[in-house]
Amino acid sequence: MRPPGIIFDLDGTLVDSVYQHVVSWHRALASRGISCAQSRIHRAIGMSGKQFLPKLLRDEGYRPSRRLIERLESAHAKHFNRIIRSVAPFQGTTRLLKVLKRRSIEFAIATSGSAAQTKALLARIKGRPACPVITADDVAEAKPSPDLFELAAVKLKKDPSDCFVVGDSVWDVLAGRRMKASVVALRSGGFDYHELQEAGAYRVYEDVRELEQSLGQLGIPAESDK
């Protein structure tokens, strides 16, 4: 038997941070006098600012200069850091990772966030087993490009098609499909079942708790072979 590797997204998948990101981007935009509906920002979370801001700014009638994007990214990071203490891991996150460890299933975390932000978020997951962590600082292009997930597969020494990508947004699904992984989507980031399924998720679960209960559906054996 060839055990699969699992590559986890972080925001909205392992930690409950999507709504804090929405509020932080909303404030960053408002601080430059740019008004944008929060539901639109929500659907962009999972991409880095560099990836989603150009279209969003153009749609609202602004020129997406590199300088404006850098200022917005910096304002977002500043506000997000101020409220990061309100971010908690989802119930069941640590438990799921421990179960995988016990079953000798290797996993990694790959996120569009910066290295600094990722470190602060991971510190919120008490008792987390160690694993490779890939951030936007490690690759040229964040999601929906597959670079982050591909690098994670390399770190896991797995063929991409032997990996499951677990994420909460359609950008995770797209990036995972591009690298030919099977993608499991969780609704815990506030995306709807249909959006995730239509984007091409192999399975859609409510959250990490349901994923843990469903590991059999992913062909992950209940007990370690060791």
User: Which residues of the shown chain bind its own copies in the complex (CB under 8 A)?
Assistant: 12, 16, 18-20, 22-23, 26-27, 30, 35, 37-39, 42, 86, 88, 90-91, 187-195, 207
Distance CA 27, CA 76 (A): 7
| 113 close to 51: Cβ distance less than 8 angstroms | no
Closer Cβ to its own copies, 7 or 15, answer by number: 15
Shortest Cβ distance from residue 88 to its own copies (Å)? 6
Shortest Cβ distance from residue 187 to its own copies (Å)? 6
Shortest Cβ distance from residue 119 to its own copies (Å)? 22
Shortest Cβ distance from residue 89 to its own copies (Å)? 9
Q: Is 138 helix (H, G, I), strand (E, B) or coil?
A: helix
Closer Cβ to its own copies, 159 or 193, answer by number: 193
- Tell me the C-alpha to C-alpha distance, in Å, between residue 12 and each of 57, 153, 175, 186: 24, 21, 16, 8
Closer Cβ to its own copies, 147 or 168, answer by number: 168
- Tell me the C-alpha to C-alpha distance, in Å, between residue 157 and each of 30, 106, 110, 163, 223: 44, 10, 15, 10, 22
Sole residue written with tokens 């998948």: 13
Shortest Cβ distance from residue 157 to its own copies (Å)? 33
Closer Cβ to its own copies, 137 or 192, answer by number: 192
| 36 close to 60: Cβ distance less than 8 angstroms | yes
Distance CA 163, CA 157 (A): 10
Closer Cβ to its own copies, 64 or 190, answer by number: 190
